[in-house]
Structure formats: C-alpha cells, structure tokens
Structure 1
Amino acid sequence: MSLRTLSLRALLLLGLWHTGRRGLASAPELQEQPKKIAVVGAGIGGTAAAFYLRQKFGAGVKIDVFESNIAGGRLATVKIGDYEYETGGSVIHPLNLHMKHFIERLGIPPRMDVGTKMAIFDGKELVFEESNWFIINFLRLLWRYGFNFLRMQMWVESVLDKFMRIYQYQQFGYSFSSVERLLHAMGGDSFLTLMNQTLEETMIGEGFSQLFINDIVAPITRVNYGQSVRINGFVGAVSLAGADSGLWAVDGGNKRVCTGLLYHSKSELINAKVTSISLKVRPSKRGNTASFYEINYVGESGAAHSLYDIVVIATPLHQGKSDITFSGFNPPIPSHYPGRYHQTVATLVHGMLNMSYLGTTEPASEFTVSDILTTDSKGCVINSLSSLDPVHIPDGYKRPPASQTKVWKVFSSNSLTQEQLQNMFLSYDTLFETPWLAYPAYRPPHRKTPPFILHNRLYYLNTVEWAASAMEMSAIAARNVALLAHHRWHEQIRKIDQEDLHTRLRGEL
C-alpha cells in the first residue's frame, strides 16, 4: 500500500469522524420529500438504486420497482439435477466495496471457495495449463513472458488505486451528472485517455509484449466480455482485474443480492413491462402547477399507469434491450441511444468432456482444470469453457475430474451447433442455453455517453455500462443516481460535478 493511499484512507476516516460532528458545510433547509419514486428494472443496478434511494429519502416515500421478468436481471441461475448454477454474472472482486457492503448488510454469506485451475486453448491444443504449484506456474510464465505478468498486476493495481477514489466521493455525498465526469473524478484525464484507445494500444504503450497480449490478455477479455484486446483500455483494465486472486461469489447465487436489496429497501416489486413514460403537468395545492412522470405499463392484469415524482431507468435504452417510448419532453428523449450490445451465449451442459477436443493426451481422471480460456484465433469457436460448481457448496463437496459427468459452461458468440457440441462432449444429457446481450460492444474512440440526467427528475443508470459493465459499476451508478436525485430535489448543487473533496476536507480538519 502506498503512503499516498494510506494518507487518503486516513483522511477519509478523519473526515467521517469530523463530519459526524458538524458536516462539510451547513445544509440548506430541505423541502418536502417526494411521495412516489419509480425504478424501471430489478437487476443489480435497479435494486441497488432502490436501496440507496430509501437511504436518501427516508421511510415516507413509496418506491415501486418495475420488472417484466424475475428480479436479478443478468444475475440468474438455472437448476440442473439437484443443484443450481450461475448463468449470468458470476464473480466479484475483493475491492468491490458496494457489493461487500450489500451482503454484510443483508446477512448473506459469501460462497465457499473451492479453488480453481486455469488453462489456455488455441482451438487446437492447450498452450498453457496451470500447475498446482505456484512456483512452477511462476517459472513457466517468467520463462515465456519475462516479467510481463507481474507488471500487468502492478498496472491493474495502479488503475484500481484511482478507481477506489469514487468510494470516498460517494461517502461524502458527491455525485456526477455524466459518466465522463465520474471517470474524471476517479482517474483524471488518464481514465478518459483509456476510454479513447484500445487495451492493446494501451498495453503496448506501457511496454508489454505482443506475445503476452495475445497469449494471456486476449483470453481474459474473451472470457469476461466476449471481445478482443481492441476493447477500450478502461474496460480492459476492469476485465484484467476480473482475473485477480480473491474473487468471490454469493452463497445461493448472486441474484440473492437483488432480492435482498428489494426487501431491505421496502420497495414494491411490480411485475410488469413499462411501455412508455410521459411528462404530465397537474395543478398543485398551492395554486401553481407541478410536473409528474406518468409510467404506462402492462402486467398480468392488463394495461395501467401511475404518476411519480422521480423516475430512475435501470435498463439499457438501446436497440434490442428496451422499447420504452418517451412523450411530452422538450428536447425529446430517444427510445434508443447509439451503440449496440454484444451477444454472448451461455450454454450449460451436463455431460462428459471429450479430452481430444482440447488436443491433449492427459487422462481425463487427472484433468482438474476448471477454467479453459481461449486465444483470439480462427480455430476457436468458443470464448471459454468452465467447470461449474453449484451456487451453494454442500459440505464435503469436491470438484469432480473431467472423467466424470458434470456441469460445464461454454461462452460463445453464437449458439453451438449439434456438431460442435458432439466434438466437445463424449456424451451429455442436459443442455440449457441463454443468449445474453450482456454488455456493450466496446470500440474506441469513446463516443459521449448518454447523461445520467435525462430530464429534471428522470435519471438513466445504465449509461455507466458504456464505460464498463460489471456488478460494481452498476452499484456505483446506483448510488450516484440516488445522490443526484436527492441533491437536485433539495437544490444542493454544491455536491454535483465537484472534485474538491480533499481540499474541503483539509479545510474542515
């Protein structure tokens, strides 16, 4: 830990103690709280938004969360045999402080760690297979790539050190009106630079070898985002952090965080599809007019509508992801923003792996690799192949070797054909396919993202995905939007789009 990081953390703790006594500045008199808030979408972003909105606006406001499917969004599970398995977002970084806070607050334990081994496949054979011995792995990587692997870890840590600044800003109530301003508060111009060049360009500029990028970095971006090293440098750094040690998941499935946040926020879940949002003006008790947002939706009981003071949209407003229309707004709000979402197909197969597919003569009974990553080559029709453990690890559980029938998860860009499945597996009895439009297609240069603020009290959470799509990024955006909504409702603009936190704290101390 650097001295600078230590001093910032000490400053944060002192600031928390001091602001508990008198605050950063005297707050203006607050106006009446909103009566009704709507959140559209019950994934991790929407449910986290409900959680933070409840924190900021108190017990008196009614919060409705609209969801056309089941709560959890891209955090989902499927039951195969006696166990459930993750089909969506599966791992959480140890420095994801919001996700850690959620499970502590909700009383949900982390999943028991089983341990993993990794191999890299080029479409014909395994070009690297991790050993059980750390020193052997280290020497292999050192021999082939020099110190590139250690330097990559140091580079990712330098990015994470800047990333961590957002927690300090949010702890003191700071919020940002755009993704670009939020990124600048984290990492200054360096993060905006990362958004405008590819990960490959960034790493070559940092002195990494092309061989290392092709053999190690590309497989990581393929498994995490289904895309090559030509994604932007910021999401690339997030992807490489997702290959770090200490990754964890939630016992019983990561979707439990979403249902837990809904319950904890005392929100009402409305199982309905939102079709349109309109701006409505009504006379108020004081004789003037007040504006509201009318949400039109269709549920099991048919079409209905309701008025809200504040609306948070927590679903992507992009082609193929949403068909919500907006009316009565000037300037108009588009139903679809530019850009497209990248398709990744998750195929869960309960079967026996064909070792010859991997081009190895290693006996299946001795093959205990859990994660097979792939290089960006023409011979690879898959992005990854992983041995799955249940979302709840029973007592005495031990991951079976490849000689036994078990559940595998295959990531690919397209649905697997019968021939491809027969090449990969000697036999299988269960297959479950989920096509995800899981994250944007990341292609620099960075185009300006949609704003967090679509209208006076209408907010868009999922714009953050165009910087990087991850559970923690959605949680950060959720807290940012809740803070924005609160500050703008109470006209506390001094905490919006400001980067003077540490200057103000030093002045307070």
Structure 2
Amino acid sequence: MRMKVPVGVFICLLVTLKYTSQADINIAIIGGGIGGTSCAYFLKQIFNDNVSIDLYEGDTIGGRLATVALKDGNEYEAGGSIIHERNRYMSSFVDINGLEKNNNAVSERVGLYTNDGFEFIESSNHMVNIMKTLWRYGYGIKEMKNFIDDLLNKFDRIYEHQAAGHSYDTVNELLMAMDPAFSGYLNISIKDAFLNLGYSEKLIEEIVKASIKVNYGQDVNVHQFVGAVSLAGMDGSLWAIKGGNKQVAEKLLNLSNARLIQEYVVQVTQNNNNNETSYMISTNTGRNLTYDYVVFAAPLAENQKIPIIFTDISSPLKNVGKYHRTVSTFVVGKLRNEKFTPLSDGSDAVLVIALNENEFFNSIGNIESVASSSILRNWKVFSREPLTSYQLNELFESISEVKSFDWLAYPHYEIPSKSLDFQLSDRLYHINAIEWAASAMEMSCVGAKNVALLIKKNIDSNWNETNKWMRVEL
C-alpha cells in the first residue's frame, strides 16, 4: 500500500531527514594554512550548522602565509606575498572580512643578473622601458602577454563550475574543466612549449626564467602550467593585504566556527566498522579523536618537516615527490655598489634576479612593510640554502640585522608531472594535490573548494544509498 502525503509536507520531511543525517558528520582538517582554513569556510557555507569541524595546527594559523618583524618596528611578508587582481576567492575573502587591499605597490626596476654583470635592466621611464624591452625581445613579449591573458580567461571558468557544485577527483580533471589543453601542459616544459609557439630563446632564457626563479626558485624545465602561472605572477596588477596576508586564514577560521586544536597530528588511523569508514587522529600530546572525514591540508611529500604516520589505510598513498627548499633572508643593510651598479644608486626600488644556476642567490629585492607601500631600504634575499656570513658580505657592504626563514615552499616540478588524486582513500582527502599543478594562494583555495564539494558529493551519495528504500507517491 502506498502512502500519499501533501507535496509541502513531503518536501519538509525530505529536507529534515537529509539534514538530520548530516548533523552527525564530523570532519578533521590537518593544517591551518590558506588551504585548510578556506576549506573549513567552504564546508561551513555548504553545510551551515549540520557539520562539526576540528582544525589541527601545531604552529601559527596561516602556514606559509607569515610575517617577520624587524627592529625598525615594521612587519614584512615572509611567505606568500602577492595576490593577482583576478584571484576571485582571495578578493572575496578580503571583502567579507572587511580587510583592506594594499594595491599601491611601489614599482621596482628589475635587473637580470649573471656572473658577467647585468644582461638587462629596466628603465625607470615607462616609455623608455617599453622601447628597451621591444628592442631586446621583439614582439614575442606582446604575444606572451596575450598567451597569459588567454590562460587567465580559461582559468576563470573554474569559478562558475564550482559555483554550480561540480567537483573533480583528480587535478587533471580539474584543469581540463578550465580547458582540455591544460592537462597536456603538465607534460611539457615551459621552455619547449614556448619554443614550439615560436618565442625566442633569449626571451625564454631571460624573462621566463626570471619569473620562475623569483616565484618558484627553479628553471625553465618546469612544466608549462606552473611556468605560465609564474609569468602571471610577474604582472603589474598585483596586491597584498594591509596588515599581512595571514589575516585571511585567521579570519576564515573564525567564520567557519571550526574548533582549533593547537597540536601536531602524528598519526592517522583508518577504522572500518560495519563497512563504515572513520579515522582516528592522534596528536603529539596523546589526544585521540575519531572523525567521519579527514582533510589533509598540508604538503604530503618525501621531505615534509613533520612526518605523519598513516595506519591501516585501505588505499596505498602515492609518493608525490619532494618539496623545493627556499630560504628567505631579511637584511637591513646597504647593497654592495660595485657588484650591482647601476641598480644600487638608491633612486628606485629594485629587484635583482640571478639567471645563472651556479649563483648562490635567486633574487634580491627591496621590501615593503605590510602596513604601507612606501619604499623601504630593507631587503629580502631568496636562496636555495641558508646564506653564510661570507655570502652576505658579498651582497652587502654593511649589515645591521639579519633574519631568515627556511621553507619547504612549493613542489619541485618535474616533467612529466604526476597525476594526483584529491582523494587519498575513502573519506580521506588532500587539498595540496593541486600544488603539483601550481603552488599559489588562489590555487590552494580552488583545491579547498573542490575538496569541500567532494565531501558534499560523498555525503549526498551515502544518504541517497541509505534511504533508497523510501517510496513516496505525491
């Protein structure tokens, strides 16, 4: 016998049943950087109060978004420092949290440095600089800009897909949702791709290499997608958040209503009781808590600083490779004139990028405080290893303060790039898989939204399977 109920009553009953089932879902997020905190925020958006979230972070919230304080009383970005004007998620996070953009960044003159001196130095005069650039690199520089603009237009498609609730199991599938050609970008170097497009080797070995060197500490043998993202990061339409980019992660954590557990996760154990998967999280203090879903929002690499033991995982975890070491050294001092003439005259903010692989530094640039965009005569040096006193003295003729941060900052990109899954095992997800396409704040946010949508898809699927016996005739 079939039961007939009014349509309105049925809909209310269905919604009540669905959200009652979701109210029992609890989720652990491991990592308090922009990926972990934005995932907590997206989960809160999707499920409202029908899910509980614990976020584990043994260090400070923000992860690789961090600041350093110098004796001059100012703070400076020590990690992720620039945001592109077309990064929709980061822009929206600034707006909803009432933060302020610092988008009046001081223009800087870029010098491309080799063992023999400068190969190319930008002019402080805009028109002169255009002429110098065209003379050296030809119209390929314009064609390359068009290529990057086209890539950004295609990247924008992911926002509409995610707004419609679409999720993707692999990084390749997510890239192909932007443009089917993007998957192939992971299997060719930016150098070979641009040579195939007809760009000159000089443009590739100088302009393209400089962007990758300063943004990723690597060379033109990285794959095409991350190389293109790096070039987009050299565009002039960039900004940062007044007071420090780490504020976004702090604010998102508050908006998510997630419980912060300030402990390090040391073990994740998969449980399978009555064909139902759950996970026990164990911390360095001996805490053990069980969750329905776990989101890993930190680098999962061979050389990660705090290794986590995964126990009884039904699907073997893939070896995802190594993260690239980058040391950020902050120096209060005076650049050595004889080494960097004519950029060291003090009239402009400057950025020196070393093109040679045997140089001990990647780049040296003036830094601005997180509070303002005024020119400050302090410096940030990127290098692959900590700088010795001898090396610092090679760069600076006088030094009054030095501070350094040693990061596993981004993946070491190789060809072909690994095809990574966002789902490590049943109900166990990995946001940072997306970094193997390109590491950037906005990429982490895109990965975080995708994982939140994958969890929603899994919960909806389980609910439909559990309640498929229900037959109601309207």
- Contact conserved, 1:116 with 1:371, CA < 8 A, in 2? no
Structure 1 residues 376 and 29: CA distance shift in structure 2, 3 A: farther
> Which residue is equivalent to 2:365?
386
- Does 2:14 correspond to 1:40? no
Letter in 1 for 2:350: S
> Which residue is equivalent to 1:293?
279
Distance 1:346 1:362 in 2: 21
- Does 2:383 correspond to 1:412? yes
> 123-132 vs 346-355, which deviates more?
123-132
- For residue 273 of structure 1, the aligned residue among 264, 271, 274 is 264
- Does 2:287 correspond to 1:304? yes
Distance 2:220 2:417 in 1: 15
Letter in 1 for 2:370: V
- Does 2:70 correspond to 1:91? no
Distance 1:53 1:161 in 2: 27
- Contact conserved, 2:292 with 2:427, CA < 8 A, in 1? yes
Structure 1 residues 417 and 142: CA distance shift in structure 2, 3 A: same
> Which residue is equivalent to 1:502?
none
Distance 2:78 2:120 in 1: 26
Sequence identity percentage:
37
- Contact conserved, 2:41 with 2:253, CA < 8 A, in 1? yes
- Contact conserved, 2:300 with 2:320, CA < 8 A, in 1? no
Distance 1:122 1:173 in 2: 49
Letter in 1 for 2:57: E
Distance 2:60 2:35 in 1: 14
The SS at the match of 1:272 is coil
- For residue 66 of structure 1, the aligned residue among 39, 56, 76 is 56
> Which residue is equivalent to 1:30?
18
> Which residue is equivalent to 1:376?
356
- Does 2:338 correspond to 1:356? yes
Once the two structures are TM-superposed, the CA of residue 319 in structure 1 deviates from its matched residue by 1.7
> Which residue is equivalent to 1:463?
433
Once the two structures are TM-superposed, the CA of residue 324 in structure 1 deviates from its matched residue by 1.4
Once the two structures are TM-superposed, the CA of residue 161 in structure 1 deviates from its matched residue by 1.4
Once the two structures are TM-superposed, the CA of residue 29 in structure 1 deviates from its matched residue by 7.4
Q: Structure 1 length as normaliser, TM-score?
A: 0.84
- For residue 112 of structure 2, the aligned residue among 100, 105, 120 is 120
> Which residue is equivalent to 1:196?
187
Once the two structures are TM-superposed, the CA of residue 112 in structure 1 deviates from its matched residue by 4.7
CA offset digits 1:371-421 (Å, max 9, x no partner) = 22221353x32111110010111xxx7415xxxxx3200001111121111
Once the two structures are TM-superposed, the CA of residue 446 in structure 1 deviates from its matched residue by 2.0
- For residue 343 of structure 1, the aligned residue among 321, 325, 343 is 325
> 323-332 vs 438-447, which deviates more?
323-332
Question: Unaligned stretches of 5+ in structure 2?
Answer: 1-13, 465-474
CA offset digits 1:142-183 (Å, max 9, x no partner) = 111111111110011111111111011001110001101111
- Contact conserved, 1:124 with 1:357, CA < 8 A, in 2? no
- Contact conserved, 1:119 with 1:373, CA < 8 A, in 2? yes
Once the two structures are TM-superposed, the CA of residue 61 in structure 1 deviates from its matched residue by 2.1
CA offset digits 1:278-323 (Å, max 9, x no partner) = 12245xxxxx67432111112xxx2111111111110112122142
Question: Unaligned stretches of 5+ in structure 1?
Answer: 1-25, 283-287, 401-405, 495-509
Structure 1 residues 293 and 373: CA distance shift in structure 2, 3 A: same
The SS at the match of 1:215 is helix
- Contact conserved, 1:40 with 1:65, CA < 8 A, in 2? yes
- Contact conserved, 2:315 with 2:425, CA < 8 A, in 1? no
Once the two structures are TM-superposed, the CA of residue 341 in structure 1 deviates from its matched residue by 0.9
Distance 2:162 2:106 in 1: 34
Distance 2:279 2:189 in 1: 40
- Contact conserved, 2:33 with 2:62, CA < 8 A, in 1? yes
- Contact conserved, 1:71 with 1:255, CA < 8 A, in 2? yes
Distance 1:305 1:357 in 2: 56
CA offset digits 1:303-357 (Å, max 9, x no partner) = 11111111111011212214212223323446xx231111111111111111212
Once the two structures are TM-superposed, the CA of residue 440 in structure 1 deviates from its matched residue by 0.8
Distance 1:203 1:363 in 2: 33
Once the two structures are TM-superposed, the CA of residue 443 in structure 1 deviates from its matched residue by 1.0
Number of equivalenced pairs: 446
Distance 1:187 1:354 in 2: 47
- Contact conserved, 2:222 with 2:415, CA < 8 A, in 1? yes
- Contact conserved, 2:55 with 2:258, CA < 8 A, in 1? yes
Structure 1 residues 114 and 362: CA distance shift in structure 2, 3 A: closer
> Which residue is equivalent to 1:315?
298
User: In the TM superposition, what are the counterparts of 1:217-256 in structure 2 within 5 Å?
Assistant: 217-256=208-247
- For residue 422 of structure 2, the aligned residue among 452, 459, 483 is 452
Once the two structures are TM-superposed, the CA of residue 212 in structure 1 deviates from its matched residue by 1.0
Structure 1 residues 215 and 50: CA distance shift in structure 2, 3 A: same
